[in-house]
Amino acid sequence: MSDLLAAATTARANAWAPYSRFAVGAALRAESGRVFAGCNVENAAYPLGQCAEASAIGALVAAGERRIVEVLIVAGAPPPCLPCGGCRQRLAEFADDDTPVRVAGPDGAILLETTLGALLPHPFRLRPPTALASEPRAAADRLREAANTLSPVIGLVLGSGLDAVAARIETVLEVDSRDLPGLPVPAVEGHRGRILLGRLAGVPLVCLRGRPHLYEGHPPAAIARPLRLLRALGCRIVVLASAVGSLRPDIGPGSIALVSDHLNLFGINPLVGPNDDRIGPRFPDLVDLYDPALRAVLRAAAASRGVALAEGVLAGVLGPCFETPAEIRMMRVLGADLVGMSMVPEAIAARHGQLRVLGIGVVTNLAAGLAPSPPSHAETLAQAAAAADRLGALLEAAVPELVRCP
């Protein structure tokens, strides 16, 4: 039995429902992972009782939590007991439209699985004015208000040590990820968590300086949110740049490498959970995920500037450990040339939302077992910083062509 189901079932057993005789338990998972449960509490002025969802929300908010990522309700036998209109709106104050809502019967069997968005008619989609709202569109609106003259077409995601690329951007607005409710905030040294609107080589773009990683403990779906923000801001192309290790001695530290394809070895996927059909299909295909035409543009830009550009398959791993030498040998057999702890789930989320993807790895080290000294985060940061200016120059040359690329 899942922790949510156990909590909702226990709460239901304590429900105070002497008037309706219909006991309900609800359990909510907060973004921190903590679970809060509640039951319905009736009184003699029935039907002015309190719903189980409202009780659970009260407990969650009183504990200082502000975001709900999963909802489970346990009630009587079918038909499934959906949240009432008031509770749907209560949930919407703290949850995204894609938040899963499951309803179980008394035996724990799931009777219905949906999302909060699917339960909310338009009039219920009002958001509080102070941006407790947490879906990417709310963040997009705030950014859009502040930079209403810019129509960004490219999103640029910069990872560890690649800040020097951002220095080339003519900034219109820079905000902290923390000021945009609903976005996971990067927590690793070298990942700043800033969002910048501006122009690179005259091309309007949004740059995410720093990215959240799954190894920080974010739920997989949270990794999709920055990509959905870029999409909501109007971006149609996303350039994902990150530090990577190389499995090929001929692609040494300091190299810049196009990602041609990937092996998802994370064991998880940012699209797990209910699908939001308004963003993309349930089963997106990943053929040519790393857009061949955009790659050709980058190759041409590199050739014209005399910048060496490698290319290879990226193995995406959860981290945070660097790999063992045996794992690296395994990945080599599987066909990987590069290895990294970000990019792959972002590329999947981008594809789901019909963004064209360009993946660029900055090689910071030879992977475990291939160099005399083991890989380290300090080395990653230092090598990425050393290559960042070259990457910035390359992107400056390529970006005007990328936006013209059919």
Q: Residues 104-107: contacts with CB within 8 Å, 24+ apart?
A: 104/5, 104/8, 104/72, 104/73, 104/74, 104/75, 105/74, 105/75, 105/76, 105/77, 105/78, 105/80, 106/12, 106/74, 106/75, 106/76, 106/77
| Annotation marks residue 170 as catalytic | no
158 forms part of the interface with ligand HPA (CB under 6 A): no
Q: Applying CB under 6 A, does 255 fall inside the site for ligand HPA? A: no
Handedness of CA 321, 324, 325, 329 (dihedral sign): negative
Out of 270, 322, 336, 385, point to the residue binding ligand HPA (CB under 6 A): 322
Give the nearer residue to ligand HPA in terms of CB position, either 94 or 322.
322
Which of 169, 244, 355, 387 forms a contact with ligand HPA (CB under 6 A)?
244
Q: How far apart are CA 362 and CA 1, in angstroms?
A: 44
Active-site annotation holds for 330: no
Return all residues near 273 (Cβ < 8 A) that are at least 6 apart: 98, 100, 220, 221
Spot the catalytic one: 134, 160, 242, 255. Answer: 160
Is there a catalytic annotation at residue 341?
yes
Per CB under 6 A, 256 contacts ligand HPA: no
- Among 23, 177, 365, 385, which one carries the catalytic annotation? 365
Q: How far is the CB of 192 from ligand HPA (least distance, A)?
A: 17
Should residue 314 be labelled a site residue for ligand HPA when binding is judged by CB under 6 A? no
Q: How far is the CB of 155 from ligand HPA (least distance, A)?
A: 21
- 36 belongs to the binding site for ligand HPA (CB under 6 A): no
The binder of ligand HPA chosen from 323, 327, 337, 396 (CB under 6 A): 323
Instruction: Indicate whether 266 belongs to the interface with ligand HPA (CB under 6 A).
Output: no
Of 52, 56, 95, 243, catalytic: 243
Examine the residue annotation and report whether 160 is marked as an active-site residue of this protein: yes
- Minimum gap (Å) between residue 245 Cβ and ligand HPA: 2
Instruction: Assess 301 for contact with ligand HPA (CB under 6 A).
Output: no
Question: Can you tell me which of 155, 280, 375, 392 binds ligand HPA, judged by CB under 6 A?
Answer: 375
Whether 343 is catalytic: no
Min CB(205)–ligand HPA separation in Å: 24
* Residue 274 sits in the site that holds ligand HPA (CB under 6 A): no
Q: Is 260 a catalytic residue?
A: no
Minimal distance in Å, beta carbon 251 to ligand HPA?
A: 12
Catalytic residue among 201, 377, 393, 401: 377
Size of the site for ligand HPA (CB under 6 A): 14
Of residues 327 through 366, those in contact with ligand HPA by CB under 6 A are: 339-341, 364-365
Collect all residues with Cβ–Cβ distance below 8 Å to 83 and sequence separation of at least 6.
51, 53, 71, 73, 91, 101, 119
Residues carrying an active site annotation = 160, 191, 213, 215-216, 243, 341-342, 365, 377
Binding residues vs ligand HPA (CB under 6 A)? 243-245, 317, 322-323, 339-341, 364-365, 367, 375, 380
